[in-house]
């Protein structure tokens, strides 16, 4: 009786013939192009993410100040990169996995430098700035915490008339020289002169300028608290008043006759926010130049953005860091500079 042939056939449809090398476990050809066809949507999302980071300055502010909103939290777009990578691996999509390289490269190009420790030693002057919060229930304790940094110059924002005596009493011994203009103040171990309010187009005082007579020479110090920004459902990221104030502050600093300038304050914006270009274009961030990490300062419970800034011009940053939480919703930040 004739018997059926049980070996592999030359057509490659059997299990042991030459065609077996084109198969893998599960019966799907090893040359299956599904690896490249799957995950197209994920790949498109990855490319869009990369484009948003590359072209963030081109995103218009005409609708709800969307551009500035994205720039405020720009570093956090990196959170989506591992998410897309994991989804690409789950989908077993070579296309998606390779596409994720685009936003990863862009993110590291923008923020990779902040991941390294650039802090140094030495320096002549230590400065601190802190938005103490108008609703702070322990102003005296906050003042003592900030003074513990050993800074020669301390700037405070959101100083209310009710809390001012507490700050003055707590800082008077270590900082014999001080000035308060509106709701911003500066305490110094060195003499002050030429103090005046800075008009940032608000109608009330939230910025000042003074000259600090350090042993290394005169330094112009600005303290500013830019108007708050809001995210509203009906109007988006409302920041028009902050933007006008930032421009006015930038003009004042540009006209400053003293070569060495330090800006301390709550600017309600990050270094990436185009609205602060009038200031950031002419000054350096101490955190960016001599810090370690992003130095996020707000909100204190879970810092997500560095809207409190120390910036310098004609001065070399040596180190920059964030201080422990106080009774405020902001973290204090500090820097040491070489004059």
The rounded distance, in Å, linking the Cα atoms of 297 and 127 is 16
Which pLDDT score, from 0 to 100, does residue 102 have? 97
The structure tokens listed for 52 are 């948003």
Asked if pLDDT for residue 192 goes beyond 60, the answer is: yes
More confident residue, 279 or 30: 279
Sequence-separated (6 or more) residues with CB below 8 Å from residue 13: 19
SS3 letters for 49-104?
HHHHHHCHHHCCCCCCCHHHHHHHCHHHHHHHHHHHHHHHHHCCCHHHHHHCHHHH
**Which of 118, 108, 135, 315 has the alpha carbon at shortest distance from 222?**
315
63 burial type by CB count under 10 A (0-12 exposed, 13-18 middle, 19+ buried): exposed
d(CA 70, CA 203): 29
**Per-residue confidence at 4, pLDDT binned at 50, 70, 90?**
very low
Whether a cis peptide bond, with omega within 30° of 0, leads into 299 is: yes
Task: Read off the pLDDT band of 35 (50, 70, 90).
Answer: confident
Tokens describing residue 260: 């060495």
Q: Tell me, what's the pLDDT at 231?
A: 55
What pLDDT score was predicted for residue 28?
52
- Alpha-carbon span 163 to 300, nearest angstrom: 20
246 close to 234: Cβ distance less than 8 angstroms: no
pLDDT computed for residue 292 by the predictor: 93
d(CA 261, CA 313): 5
The DSSP element (H or E) to which 40 belongs, if any, is helix 40-54
pLDDT tens column, 95-104:
999 999 999 9
Rounded to two decimals, what is the model's pTM?
0.83
Pairing of strands 207-214, 217-225: antiparallel
Q: At 7, give phi and psi (nearest 5°).
A: -80, 175
d(CA 149, CA 323): 8
């Amino acid at each position: 009786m004739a018997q059926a042939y049980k070996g592999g056939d030359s057509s490659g449809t059997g299990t042991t013939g030459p065609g077996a090398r084109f198969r893998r476990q599960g019966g799907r050809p090893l040359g299956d192009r599904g690896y490249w066809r799957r995950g197209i949507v994920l790949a498109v999302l990855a490319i869009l993410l990369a484009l948003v980071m590359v072209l963030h300055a081109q995103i218009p502010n005409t609708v709800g100040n969307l551009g500035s909103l994205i720039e405020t939290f720009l570093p956090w777009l990196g959170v989506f990169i591992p998410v897309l990578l994991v989804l690409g691996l789950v989908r077993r999509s070579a296309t998606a996995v390779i596409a994720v390289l685009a936003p990863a490269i862009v993110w590291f190009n923008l923020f990779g430098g902040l991941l390294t420790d650039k802090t140094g030693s030495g320096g002549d002057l230590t400065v601190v700035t802190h938005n103490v919060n108008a609703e702070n229930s322990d102003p005296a304790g906050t003042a003592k915490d900030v003074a513990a940094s050993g800074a020669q110059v301390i700037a405070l924002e959101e100083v209310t008339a009710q809390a001012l005596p507490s700050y003055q009493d707590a800082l008077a011994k270590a900082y014999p020289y001080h000035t308060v203009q509106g709701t911003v103040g500066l305490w110094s171990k060195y003499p002050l002169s030429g103090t005046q309010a800075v008009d940032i187009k608000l109608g009330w005082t939230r910025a000042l300028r003074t000259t600090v007579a350090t042993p290394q020479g005169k330094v112009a110090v600005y303290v500013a608290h830019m108007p708050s920004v809001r995210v509203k459902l009906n109007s988006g990221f409302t920041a028009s008043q902050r933007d006008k104030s930032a421009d006015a502050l930038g003009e004042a600093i540009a006209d400053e006759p003293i070569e060495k300038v330090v800006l301390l304050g709550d600017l309600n914006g990050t270094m990436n926010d185009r609205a602060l270009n009038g200031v950031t274009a002419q000054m350096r961030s101490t955190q960016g130049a001599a810090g370690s990490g992003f130095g996020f300062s707000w909100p204190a419970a879970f810092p997500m953005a560095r809207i409190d800034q120390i910036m310098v011009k004609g001065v070399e940053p040596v180190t920059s860091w964030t201080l422990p939480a106080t009774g405020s919703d902001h973290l204090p930040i500090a820097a040491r500079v070489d004059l």
